[in-house]
Structure 1
């Protein structure tokens, strides 16, 4: 495992037990973002970097009992917290790296990724791998339950022009990795960029 992976695991392992209690009011934002993927009953969706699995329940609600929901995370403690919360009932949990997914090419209809991009040490590789597992015309949602400015303020920092999630940076990054951005919202109460897997 690389030092980058170890750092990410240590960061989230230290926070896993109390992660959900830090953000108790995010549920409706997750539900709205899951709904924005345009999924139908029976579809197959991945929650990439699923953490404690907060998106699994709203994703399951959208794809229904006949659909497939998979949550992937690099940190065992986060997946253990998801199981303790009972969210493994809504999706299959896998310990894996988003940049090397144990999934077949073009096997999914969509990917949901909450807060993921900021934690990818090689964002292009991660986004390219997400594109590999999604069928042409499938969708990607890059989500955060608060906007970039509010998140930066919470973390005691300022937004810089090189922020990967800034629209002028994100759109070309997506385009280089097999995606076409279709909408972009960076508001006080949410960040949501939607993209379509290119044919």
Structure 2
């Protein structure tokens, strides 16, 4: 495991038990952001870096009982909190690294990612991996329940020109990763970027339908109940 991954697990693992109590009012913002994905009944969607699963109920409502909702996170403690909150009923939880998804190319209609981009060790390669798992024309939502300035103030820091989430930086980064930015909103009450997957992306992976039957119980590791990335390995 890389130092980046170890740091992420330590940071969020130490905060998992109190995470939902620290941010009790974010539910409507998550639901509003999910609504902008334009998901349809029967759709297939991944919550990348799902944490305690706060987006999963809205994602399930959007795709209905016939859809597939996956929640992937690197930190076991966050997924345990998702189970404790009952959100495993809304989506299959997967203990997985979103920079190397156990999914076949093009199987998803959309990816929802709340607060993820700041924790990616290699943003271009990692966003390209998300593009690989999404069909051409599929949608990516990069979300945070507060905007960049509000988040910086909360954390006691100042915004700098090299901020990855600034539009002049993020738009070309997404383009290099196989995504075309279609909207950018950075307000006090939310940060939401939508992008469409282009016609080309790298490939490998497993069918998310195999996870849809297991919406309850403990989060699964990438090797449990998942088709290998390549049958020719």
Which interval holds the TM-score relative to the shorter structure? over 0.9
Say whether residues 1:168 and 2:183 are aligned partners.
no
> CA separation in 2, counterparts of 1:21 and 1:118?
22
> CA separation in 1, counterparts of 2:15 and 2:128?
28
Gaps of 5+ in 1: none
Spell out, residue by residue over 1:97-119, the C-alpha distance to the aligned partner (whole angstroms, 9 max, x if none): 11100111100000000000001
Q: Which residue number in structure 2 is paired with residue 28 of structure 1? A: 28
Spell out, residue by residue over 1:53-93, the C-alpha distance to the aligned partner (whole angstroms, 9 max, x if none): 00000000100000000000000000000000000000000
Say whether residues 1:138 and 2:105 are aligned partners.
no
Spell out, residue by residue over 1:132-169, the C-alpha distance to the aligned partner (whole angstroms, 9 max, x if none): 00000000000000000000000000010000000000
Q: Which residue number in structure 2 is paired with residue 104 of structure 1? A: 104
> CA separation in 1, counterparts of 2:68 and 2:128?
21
> CA separation in 1, counterparts of 2:19 and 2:123?
24
- SS where residue 165 of structure 1 aligns? coil
Query: 1:124 Cα shift?
Result: 1.0
> CA separation in 2, counterparts of 1:135 and 1:22?
35
Query: 1:2 Cα shift?
Result: 1.0
Q: Which residue number in structure 2 is paired with residue 40 of structure 1? A: 40
> CA separation in 1, counterparts of 2:120 and 2:176?
16
Structure number, greater radius of gyration: 2
Give me the CA root mean square deviation: 0.4
Q: Which residue number in structure 2 is paired with residue 54 of structure 1? A: 54
TM-score for the superposition, normalised by structure 1:
0.99
Q: Which residue number in structure 2 is paired with residue 117 of structure 1? A: 117
Question: How many pairs does the alignment contain?
Answer: 199
Q: Which residue number in structure 2 is paired with residue 157 of structure 1? A: 157
Q: Which residue number in structure 1 is paired with residue 129 of structure 2? A: 129
> CA separation in 1, counterparts of 2:5 and 2:60?
28
Which of structure 1's runs of 4+ aligned residues deviate more than 3 A?
A: none
TM-score for the superposition, normalised by structure 2:
0.85
> CA separation in 2, counterparts of 1:124 and 1:21?
33
> CA separation in 2, counterparts of 1:121 and 1:160?
19
> CA separation in 2, counterparts of 1:123 and 1:74?
16
Query: 1:36 Cα shift?
Result: 0.4
